[in-house]
Amino acid sequence: MMVIRPVCRADLPGLMQLAKKTGGGLTSLPQDEKTLAARIERSIETWQGERPQAQQGYVFVLEDTTDGAIAGISAIEVAVGLEEPWYNYRVGSLVHASRQLDIYNPLATLSLSNDHTGATELCSLFLDPDYRMHKNGQLLSKSRFLFMAGFPEVFSPRVVAEMRGVIDDAGNSPFWDSVGSHFFSMDFSRADFLSGTGHKAFIAELMPKHPLYIHYLSEDARAVIGEVHVKTAPARGLLEAEGFRYQNYVDIFDGGPTLECELAAIRAVKQSRVMTTATGIPDDHHPLCLVAGMDYLRFRAVLLPVDPQAGTVLIPPDCAARLQIAAGDPVRVVSLSPQGTCL
């Protein structure tokens, strides 16, 4: 059985193994044990109410309960940019015109932006390639929305997600080569590592403060602005199915898109409902749904078939134990697919 749960200290070795499989470019999951251990502690302290809003972040893991393996990670940063600036580029335009010469030239630009300060960020989504089956990716990504639906007061009304941009198998980024390398004088992997391990002061110190003309970038760099890594395309599709959209903001390192949506407008938040549980074996012919417990400190989520007419969720005894719920307890439920009818 695959279960989503809060991260714990014992998960550190499993997260290190996951980090080695990312292929780079996932700044929030660096191959650095000290950074990951600190992130686990911050997540635990967030759940325990020991962190101010500016430092709060929730980390979830996907556990294979057959052997305890950590198959994936996903996370939520409560409010970005409140302690240190949160940068991206806004893709816009500047117009160069002369009425006398009858010339009008709108030119696309990249402008350094902090427009998402205070927004809630979805981040750190990564699923072990060996587990990319049986809708595990959807469970890992979308279960966060049930947590946010259950506790909306914790989060910002605006939710964003930075998507990994185009990087080749050798870890090279065409966007970085044409933009960042000229200002940072280091390769992409080092800048990516420094950012992922919390050393971000250099960004403010070295980034250009004036708009950059996209026309001056290399053809390869222009082609990847707002595009995602091939392995990130499924994650982008999942978010877009939930209502997230690209609004012309991109990552300053690799040019990957930032998607955004209002919390209340996210499909899984808007359509989720509270149901009660009963012990039993669900019928596999019913629609597959995300089912999550409603205990803040012991949040758990799984995938189960749910009868949309029954009004209750049948949960096998072993699954109930994994969810840490009992018969008659409330759970939050939503269809896995936007086309599904769970409720």
In terms of DSSP H, where are the helices of the chain? 12-20, 33-47, 136-150, 174-178, 180-184, 188-196, 201-206, 219-224, 233-241, 267-271, 317-323
- C-alpha–C-alpha distance, residues 70 and 21, integer Å: 13
Q: Report how far apart, in Å, the C-alpha atoms of 238 and of each of 101, 120, 139, 169, 232 are.
A: 49, 18, 10, 24, 10
228 in Cβ contact with 140 (< 8 Å): no
Q: Report how far apart, in Å, the C-alpha atoms of 302 and of each of 89, 136, 140, 144 are.
A: 37, 10, 9, 12
Which member of 96, 229, 285, 286 is catalytic?
229
Token readout for 323 is: 């969810």
| Half-sphere exposure for 216 (CA within 13 Å, toward CB) | 7
- C-alpha–C-alpha distance, residues 324 and 20, integer Å: 31
301 in Cβ contact with 336 (< 8 Å): no
Is 229 one of the annotated active-site residues of the chain? yes
DSSP string, 147-174: HHHH-GGGS-SEEEEEPP----TTS--H
Catalytic residues: 229
